[in-house]
């Protein structure tokens, strides 16, 4: 399901959700827990399965890293990638890219246009790494921390709702 995903990665939510449903069904199949009471999110966490959407995001950003650091024979100018020469505020990367004007929906969903904003939001400590493997591992680690934080936020919200319900 991941072969050449940087090329065919769906930009419609319904298509991305369909792929995620395949992974969720696979988690039930792997663990042989098909009853409705089983939390698939817990199964995915137990199996250490990263959501497919996140895996595709990491693949796209790793490929962008390879392009920007001349690890692949894809010239930046063929993808409308231009380094930004103006300094930015905040802790974003020093290797920022200019965000192109997207006149068509087709270009809005292109590889370059979809990934520039995500690339520019990465900290310089990740984008300035010297090797592809260290970039990928640091990006994956940052992704895991972000996912753990969002899971913790969801758990806190659920707990607050349960407490509210019990008080009434």
pLDDT of amino acid 13 = 85
pLDDT at 118 over 60: yes
Print the domain residue range for 127.
51-167
Q: Is residue 123 part of a domain?
A: yes
For the chain, the domain total comes to 1
Give the total residue count for the chain: 168
Query: What region does 112 belong to: left with phi over 0, alpha with psi -120 to 50, or beta?
Result: alpha
Q: Is residue 2 part of a domain?
A: no
pLDDT of amino acid 154 = 59
pLDDT in tens, 41-95: 888 888 988 888 888 999 999 999 999 998 998 888 887 787 877 766 665 667 7
CA–CA gap between residue 67 and residue 6 (Å, rounded): 13
Q: Is residue 20 part of a domain?
A: no
Cα 94 from chain centre = 20
Q: Is residue 38 part of a domain?
A: no
More confident residue, 168 or 114: 114
Q: Is residue 44 part of a domain?
A: no
Question: Do 23 and 126 form a contact (C-beta atoms < 8 A)?
Answer: no
SS3 138: helix
- CA-based nearest residue to 113, from 128, 98, 126: 98
Q: Is residue 33 part of a domain?
A: no
Q: Is residue 24 part of a domain?
A: no
pLDDT of amino acid 164 = 73
CA–CA gap between residue 126 and residue 152 (Å, rounded): 24
**Per the structure block, which two tokens stand in for 23?**
């992974």
DSSP state of 35: S
Q: Is residue 4 part of a domain?
A: no
pLDDT of amino acid 62 = 93
**Per the structure block, which two tokens stand in for 114?**
């979809």
DSSP state of 48: T
| Global pTM value | 0.72
């Amino acid at each position: 399901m991941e072969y050449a995903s940087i090329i065919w990665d769906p930009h419609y939510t319904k298509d991305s959700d369909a792929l995620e449903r395949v992974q969720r069904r696979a988690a039930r199949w792997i663990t042989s827990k098909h009853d409705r009471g089983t939390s698939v999110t817990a199964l995915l966490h137990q199996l250490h399965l990263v959501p497919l959407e996140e895996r595709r995001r990491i693949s796209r950003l790793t490929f962008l890293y390879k392009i920007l650091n001349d690890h692949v024979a894809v010239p930046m100018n063929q993808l409308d990638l231009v380094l930004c020469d103006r300094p930015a505020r905040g802790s974003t990367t020093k290797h920022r890219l200019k965000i192109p004007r997207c006149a068509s929906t087709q270009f809005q969903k292109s590889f370059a246009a979809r990934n520039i904003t995500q690339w520019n939001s990465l900290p310089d400590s990740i984008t300035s790494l010297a090797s592809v493997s260290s970039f990928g591992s640091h990006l994956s680690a940052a992704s895991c921390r972000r996912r753990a934080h969002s899971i913790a936020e969801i758990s806190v919200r659920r707990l607050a709702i349960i407490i509210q319900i019990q008080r009434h």
